[in-house]
Amino acid sequence: MAEQKDAEALVDAAVNTYGSLDILVNNAGVMDNFEPVGLVEDNTWDRVMKVNVDGPFFAMRKAVQYFATRGSGNIINVCSIGGIKGGVAGAAYTTSKHALIGLTKSTGYMYAKTGIRCNGIAPGAVETRISETIDMTNIPPLAQERIMPGMALNPRSGKPEEIAQAALFLASDASSFVNGHILVADGGWTA
């Protein structure tokens, strides 16, 4: 959901269908092909930024306006360890996830006194369809040399249900004092 009109329609549809919006989870993402900055093409940069940053931004902006009228709301962004580290993806993906983490922290801080919380989850490798956005036959030699050896340090891939459990915690009252935080869920990969 990278288009502003679609993101805003999503929030409106939730409010119109259910009478309220309590929690917004931004969980869309696409990868690059591990290209270092010197090899990133404009269309790759634009596609990754549009999905990974613009979409969440548009949905958050609309949701915050609604949450502000209620005095409460909860935003959860599925970020990535790519937003914490520099060596697990290419330049476009890594930049997009650093941006999403910054947006998450800024939003959590700015709205902390309004009853609106904003947190993120930084998963490691998870068994989802995001790998379909990578052309594994076209990984640049520099990425094969610099990034792929670090992949061997990953103890295991996570299940989507494990990330969902982290989201449920952040959505619940059990995390009422957690705000502007990025919860790493990577099986110990970044450790």
| Enzyme catalytic residues | 93
User: Among candidates 119, 121, 134, which has minimal Cα distance to 48?
Assistant: 134
How many CB atoms are located within 10 Å of the residue 19 CB?
7
User: How many CB atoms are closer than 10 A to CB 36?
Assistant: 16
| CA 90 to mean position of chain CA atoms | 16
Listed residue (76, 72, 64, 57) closest to 169, CA to CA = 76
Separation between Cα atoms, residue 46 and residue 62, nearest integer Å: 22
Which residues does residue 23 pair with via DSSP β-bridges, in sequence order? Answer: 74
H/E run at residue 68: helix 55-70
Q: How far apart are CA 17 and CA 14, in angstroms?
A: 5
Q: Sort strands 116-123 and 182-185 into parallel, antiparallel or unpaired.
A: parallel
> Which amino acid, 106?
S
